[in-house]
Every structure is written in structure tokens, then in C-alpha cells.
Amino acid sequence: MTQSEYIHGTFPEEQQRLSKLNDILNDASLAELRLRGGERILDFGAGLAQFTRLTARRAGENGCVIAIERDSNQITEARRQAEAAGESDLIELRQGDVFAMPLRNEEWGSFDVAHARFLLEHVSDPLAVVKAMVRAVRIGGRIVLEDDDHDLIRLWPEPAGFGPLWKAYTRVYDRLANDPYVGRRLVSLLYEAGAQPARNTWIFFGGCAGNSHFEACVDNMVGLFLGARDKIVPWGLLQADSFDEGVANLQAWKRRPEAAMWFAIAWAEGVRRL
């Protein structure tokens, strides 16, 4: 299996961006997950494991939560954050690749929920990941996918230069053989992996001037662009001056009193049939 390249990196500034993104999205994601307590949960591509720890708190003392993360830098920071929160023993964090899951033989087919967020857009073979998720849960177990479709965004009034900047950013995914539009495919991936699709919806990610999360949402987008600049400009996807001007316009735009951003994270859930 070809090793995937993660577009965003794992340097400290990126980890800070991810932590803030978790603060914005985690409650909405947890609500959609609809845990009842006592579940065995497997989190694929857990990153900093902030959401994983949140699911563990909801699953309760009778639950069991395992987080899988490939990158050693993410694991180190995830463990630091867990220790700082007094939750070092809340989850089991394992280093491993989603294409070669570090599970024991008896663990396959034992989980109630397999979950992945912002993972499938960063792998070369998302179907292989979903197949592993289906295999990991028991019959009747749930597979939950949350991921991006980069067409699902609107800014108004759109800041000058945003369109070319967003297009250049999404083209980086193509250059890495990844899919920036995988969100629209989530239900199909569940079906192709052998699961019975059960539900799909959206997680809203956006806001407008006056909303408490608005500036953080825009800052997250700026962080995405800046983190990908070392690919966008050298690869000729956008000229350096156009990139810098577009980012500057976006940073100024967030202070406009009528500024608004709509973005949605695609969500799909399936059930293992056999």
C-alpha cells in the first residue's frame, strides 16, 4: 500500500490549529455519534485524540476506547494533552497505520463503533480504510465517517482572491493522489465496503460576524493555506504574490460586520451486516 502524505504536517503551529478546530467541532460531532454508554470504540487516525477522549468520557467506565494514530509527533502531543487533563488512562493510544491496523486477532470484529474524521481525504485508498473499519466492528456495529467535500463552502461577501486560493489549495490534494471531495462519497464507500448505509447528515462549520466561533473558523482556514504554501507556490498552483494577497484579504475580511462563512463536514453512518 502506498504511504499517504499528510498535507498539513504535524509541526507545533499545526497542532495548535488542530486543537482549536477540535474545540469548535467536537461537541457537534459527539452529539451526532449518539453514544449510549458502555461502547467499545475504535478511532481511526485519531490525531491529537481530543475527540477520542471526549467519546471515552461519554462511553463511561464500562466502555473501552482505542485510538490509532500513525505519526509519532501527534502521539507525543496527544499523550501530553491527556496527561495535562488528568486523562492519561482514559483511552489506549496505539501507533500504527490504518492500512496495517495494530489490532490483535481477537480484537477484530469486537468493536461497537469504528470512527474516522478528516482521515479519508488524506489517504490514497479510502475504500481500504472503510473495509478495515467494517471488519473491526461486530455484526450490527456502526461505522461512522466524517470528512470534507471542499466544494461545500461559501464566503460572502467573498474576499478578493479567495476563489483562486481555495482552488489552488484543493489541487494540492490531487497532486498528493488524495481526494478533496471524498465527503460526497461517504455513503458509497460504506456500501462498497460491505456495510449497510443507515444515515447521513452535515456538521456545520462556519459562522458570521458576531458569532463566538467566527474568527476561529477563519483563522483555521488561514492556517490551512499557510501550512500548504510550501506546496502551492513551488508547484506553480498559484503565484506567491497572489497567494499572499489572498491570505491578507481573508484576514482583513473576518473583521467585516457582514462577513459570513458556510462550510459543512459530511457525515455518514453504516452498520456491519455480516
Helix (H) or strand (E) holding 16: helix 12-33
| pLDDT attached to residue 7 | 67
Distance CA 130, CA 101 (A): 12
In the chain, how many H helices and how many E strands?
A: 8, 9
Domain assignment present for residue 121? The answer is yes
| pLDDT attached to residue 2 | 46
> CB-based contacts of 181: which residues, under 8 Å, 6+ apart?
149, 150, 151
Domain assignment present for residue 4? The answer is no
Domain that holds residue 166: 12-272
Domain assignment present for residue 3? The answer is no
Number of domains the chain contains: 1
- Series of mean pLDDT values for 10-residue runs along the chain (274 residues): 60 76 89 97 94 96 96 92 94 94 97 97 96 98 97 97 98 94 98 98 94 91 94 98 98 97 97 94
Domain assignment present for residue 2? The answer is no
Distance CA 210, CA 121 (A): 31
CATH no. for residue 105? Answer: 3.40.50.150
Domain assignment present for residue 5? The answer is no
At 32, list the grid cell: 451526532
| pLDDT attached to residue 19 | 79
Distance CA 64, CA 51 (A): 14
Domain assignment present for residue 6? The answer is no
> Residue written as cell 501550512?
227
pLDDT tens digits, one per residue of 47-66: 999 999 999 999 999 999 99
pLDDT tens digits, one per residue of 192-231: 999 999 999 999 999 999 998 999 999 999 999 999 999 9
Domain assignment present for residue 1? The answer is no
pTM of the model: 0.93
Report whether 150 contacts 170 (CB < 8 A): yes
227 phi, psi to nearest 5 deg: -70, -25
| pLDDT attached to residue 154 | 97
Provide the residue type at 121 as one letter.
E
Number of alpha carbons in the 13 Å side-chain half-sphere of residue 26: 18
Domain assignment present for residue 261? The answer is yes
Number of alpha carbons in the 13 Å side-chain half-sphere of residue 138: 8
| pLDDT attached to residue 22 | 81
Coil, strand or helix: which one is 54?
helix
Query: What's the mean per-residue pLDDT of the chain?
Result: 94
